[in-house]
Chain A
Amino acid sequence: MNAALYAEILKLRRSKLPWTTLLAITIGVAAGGLFMFISLHPDAARDLGLLGAKAQLATLEPTWDSYLGLLAQISAVGGIGIFGMLMVWVFGREFAEHTAKDLLALPTSRTAIVLAKFTVAAGWCFLLTGYLIVAGLGVGWWLGIPGPAGSGVIGAGVARVVITAALTIALTALFGLAASAGRGYLPAIGTLFVVLFTAQIVAALGYGQWFPFSVPALHAGITGSGQPAPAVAGYLGVAAVTVISVAATAWWWLHADHTR
């Protein structure tokens, strides 16, 4: 699988994706910092025109716990978009650029190529998560968020971001399957939008704790304290979506008729 990993890493490095995804995460961190600044200094924010007269930011407390929760929410909702698009690109580009056919009759197995794609995409997503955490903490300290920075609050908050990101990254395997079976970007992007909408709707209906695609957002606490934490079945659902998506993608590359 080393050859396939080498190929995927080189393709990703040479593309614009690392920079665009890094920029997207940076915007996310900046947005989180802005909200925290407003929460910390609401009067100054009003004076600067950052806050409308009727704006309410009651749910965002000026604490590390609240701020790290916000970063976890960014990794859940923004993550589906950013990590998802990365996964769509890694698989979809082979069909959009007609290079998939060159990967089908090689000494490196198709399964190794599929696994390398998932590994490299997931690896970059985890690096982005690391950047989100480091940059987010830096912004937090720079803003002077009150509270004991060395306490378990930050450790727990970071763990929440990491687990939320891991859950989100795991779910994006579905987009690798959609881009493969759909032979391009569009079916996978369509799937991504369906996932985003259904996750919101199912969570709003109160069933999110069991619905795999709502689990990362609920784990991040995005819907407020009134919502229950994800059920064990919800976490198992995320694992099932991941395993089935990866296996189905490998099966599709191995057994489908590749006519394009």
Chain B
Amino acid sequence: MTSDASTDTPAARFRDLAKHYGDVRAVDGISLEVKAGEIYALLGLNGAGKTTAIRTLLGMIKPSAGSVELFGQTVSPQAATVWSRVGFLVETPASYPELTVAENLKVMARLKRLPANTIETAIAQLGLQSYARRRARDLSLGNQQRLGLAKALLGQPQLLVLDEPANGLDPAGVNEIRQLLKTLAAQGTAILLSSHILAEVARLATRIGIIHRGKLITEMTAEDLHEKVARRLEIRTRDQDSAAWILRQAGHQPHTTSDGAITVEGAQALEFPDQIATLLVDAGCPPLHLAVHTEDLETLFLRLTGQEVPA
């Protein structure tokens, strides 16, 4: 496998990409790049523009403005040399139902101009050995997804573009595919994937772009994601009004939630909740409940995309 890693040329690059359908801005000025060895996750709600962006990258849709590049070349359907370096799975996996798993892969290998031995490798990578002679129409949803992934992985391409790769897989399958993608990335494959499941993305991606209503609203590393997660200290006492007054006198900014709990979000309170406990005990208002709560990822996603956050 040759690589562009040495030249730092991104495997995929979006430059101010926009795609409009009349007044609908499916993609609205997205700029991002995916480098070798990176797992970049486009995270967004259904209809956010993830698939449109991916289809544009793959030359299936023409941009209204901006451009997309693969390995430094502007994407066009005729760019035959570029397509030999790209594997993809767009939306739901599709296969020819009357062909077996092996035949479906054989068709794709021929069209990708790959040697026949790549078929066995892909079958083994996706654990499809016992299904190789089974017709695609007789596969379970999970195995159809595996077949779709196997087609994308044929020939170990330098760039993998996967739209919702965990769709239809059971938990063991999700874990297996996650490990496989991490291994491929470690070997230098650039991976661009889309998902609406933040928890899965958090486990897999090295970089995350949150896309909402066609716009890339924020981009972060996996480490940044954990830092952006909101935390708060939740306090319950027998006299909440007095406790809030004591905390305010000590320089904290307590809030009362709809269910009557007091929350404090300051760094000192979060780092030293024992000091809060001591403060309340010394003031004669000992806490009945004191706990640091971490925002779940779904709530974070809703907050970042400006959606209504459930109480």
* Residues of chain A at the chain B interface (Cβ within 8 Å): 3-4, 6-7, 10-11, 14-16, 97-99, 101-110, 113, 254-255, 257-259
Contact = CB atoms under 8 A, between A and B. Distances in A.
B107 A11 contact: yes
Contacts of B86: 105
B94 A101 contact: yes
A7 B59 contact: no
Interface residues of B, number: 33
A7 B107 contact: yes
B110 A6 contact: yes
A257 B52 CA distance: 10
B126 to A, nearest CB: 16
B92 A98 contact: yes
B60 A10 contact: no
14 contacts: A3-B113, A7-B110, A10-B103, A11-B96, A97-B94, A101-B91, A102-B94, A102-B108, A107-B84, A108-B80, A108-B111, A255-B77, A258-B60, A259-B52
Interface string B53-65: 0010011111000
B111 A4 contact: yes
Contact of A104 (B60, B62, B91): B60
Contacts of A11: 96, 98-99, 107
Contacts of A15: 98
A105 B87 CA distance: 9
Given A11-B99, A97-B94, A107-B83, A3 B111 contact: yes
B96 A14 contact: yes
B151 interface: yes
A109 B99 contact: no
B59 to A, nearest CB: 6
B52 to A, nearest CB: 8
**Which 5 A-B pairs have CB atoms at the shortest separation, nearest pair first?**
A98-B94, A258-B60, A3-B110, A105-B58, A14-B98
Residue among B60, B108, B151 with most chain A CB within 10 A: B60
A254 B151 contact: no
Contacts of A4: 111
B169 to A, nearest CB: 19
Given A104-B60, A109-B80, A99 B103 contact: no
Nearest to A105: B58
Contacts of A101: 55, 60, 90-91, 94
Contact of A110 (B58, B77, B98, B107): B77
Contacts of A106: 83, 111-112
